[in-house]
Structures are given as C-alpha cells and as structure tokens.
C-alpha cells in the first residue's frame, strides 16, 4: 500500500521565520510528488516535482525532491501570517494522470 | 479563477437519500477526479475519469457510487443511498500533464 508521511504534523512560528516541511514516501512506481496549500477549503496547487535534485521555486516558497532517499522538503522563507495553512504532500504512483495519495498534512501557524 | 466549479457548495441530506454532486470544468479537459476529505482526515482518492470512462477507482468507490458525464460538460458524482459516514468535503479535480487542480468542493452533511 502506498504511504506518504509528513512531518511535523503542526508547527507554530513567528512572522519572518523560515520553515522546512518534510514529506517522505513509500510507493510503487513513483511518478511525481505534488505540494498543495489548503486554507479553508480546497487544496491549491503549489509545485509538482518529478526529477531528483532540481529545485522548484515560487516567490518565498521552494521545494526539492530526493527520489533516492524518497523524500521532499518544502521551504518557506520570511513567513507571513498569510502562509498559515495546512500544507499537503501527495504522490502520483501510476501513470502521469493517475490518482494522488496524500499525506495527513502539516498545519503551519504563523503568528505576528 | 477556479479550474472547475462545483455545485452545490453545501448539501444536507437524510441518511438513505440519493445525492448528486456536480463539477463543471472551465475548459475542455479529458482527465477528472473525485476526492473526498472527511473532517480532520486525509484527502482520499475516489475515482478518476478519462475520456468519459472510469480509469481507476478506489476501494471506497463501491456500488453506491457512480460517476457520469451526461452532457459532455458537467461531471457528476452520485451517491445512491447516503450513510452518515459519507459526510465529508467532496472535491472534483482536473488533471493536465500530471498536475491536478481542485475545485472549491461540496460539503455533504448526512443526518
């Protein structure tokens, strides 16, 4: 059975801090790893990673994949209160348009 | 702008009733998915739909669930006889090149 484990489950930081969120996985036939931000309702797509060692960056967020050690990290620098959300990691372990298996998420709270 | 829209945003139904949740893609895509998220739990895959056919379904997607694309546009998830444990957020997502974009969701409450 495919498994995606995120850590920590929750994290409280102050504005301006840098955070690192972790995602490890055990899946058959790995295809890609996706990060989402979930505020009140739907997950919002952040990144998709397919190649090991290549960093993806968007503003203050960046992510990298290590598909030898089977993990990914999501970094957020200079955190803001608007970054408060649940960050979800999901793995596609089939074809390019197959199902996603999600982790439980990391609840990030950024205090002013 | 949302990738897909979903209706209704909230549905309350009694146990044993049938519900139909709708997903309307903004543009024409081939790959669609339904996921659900029970309050406080993981997002769980239900079913994927490619080119108007089911391509994969999970163990959760038993005989009480069905999906259709009745008019080539709207994409529906039907739950035939709802149970209390079907209470959850139901998300429709569209897929393109491996990325999946979620709709705003329908909150289903079964009483």
- Whether the CB-CB separation of A89 and A34 falls below 8 Å is answered with yes
Q: Which residues of chain A lie closer than 8 angstroms to B91, CB-CB?
A: 42-43
CA nearest to B96 within chain A? A97
CA nearest to A105 within chain B? B42
CA distance A81 to B42: 24
Mean pLDDT of chain B: 90
Whether B56 sits inside 8 A of A94 (CB atoms) is yes
Query: What Å distances lie between residue B105 and B5, B30, B77, CA to CA?
Result: 8, 19, 12
CA distance B69 to B52: 6
Interface size A-B, in CB pairs within 8 Å, comes to 57
pLDDT tens digits, one per residue of B28-76: 677 889 999 999 999 999 999 887 788 889 999 999 999 988 777 788 9
Please state, for a pLDDT cut of 90, what percent of chain B lies above it: 68
pLDDT value at residue A96: 55
Can you tell me the mean pLDDT for B100-111?
96
Whether A96 sits inside 8 A of B48 (CB atoms) is no
CA nearest to A50 within chain B? B98
Distant-in-sequence, close-in-space partners of A42: CB < 8 Å, separation ≥ 6: B91, B102, B103, B104, B105
DSSP A79: -
Q: Which residues of chain A lie closer than 8 angstroms to B41, CB-CB?
A: 104
pLDDT tens digits, one per residue of A60-90: 999 999 989 999 999 999 999 999 999 999 9
CA distance B3 to B102: 7
């Amino acid at each position: 059975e495919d498994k995606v484990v995120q850590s920590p489950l929750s994290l409280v930081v102050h504005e301006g801090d840098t955070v690192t969120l972790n995602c490890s996985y055990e899946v058959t036939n790995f295809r890609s790893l996706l990060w989402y931000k979930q505020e009140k309702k739907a997950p919002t797509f952040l990144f998709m990673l397919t190649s090991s060692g290549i960093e993806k960056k968007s503003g203050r967020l960046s992510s990298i994949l290590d598909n030898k050690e089977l993990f990914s990290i999501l970094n957020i620098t200079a955190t803001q209160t608007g970054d408060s959300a649940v960050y979800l990691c999901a793995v596609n372990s089939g074809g390019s348009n197959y199902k996603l298996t999600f982790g439980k998420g990391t609840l990030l709270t950024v205090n002013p | 702008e949302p990738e897909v829209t979903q209706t209704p945003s909230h549905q309350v139904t009694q146990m044993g009733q049938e519900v139909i949740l709708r997903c309307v893609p903004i543009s024409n895509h081939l790959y669609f998915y339904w996921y659900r998220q029970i309050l406080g739990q993981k997002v769980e895959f239900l079913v994927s739909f490619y080119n108007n056919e089911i391509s994969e379904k999970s163990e959760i997607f038993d005989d009480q669930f069905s999906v259709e694309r009745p008019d080539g546009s709207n994409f529906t998830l039907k739950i035939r006889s709802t149970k209390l444990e079907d209470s959850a957020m139901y998300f429709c997502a569209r897929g393109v090149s491996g990325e999946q974009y979620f709709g705003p969701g329908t909150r289903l409450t079964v009483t």
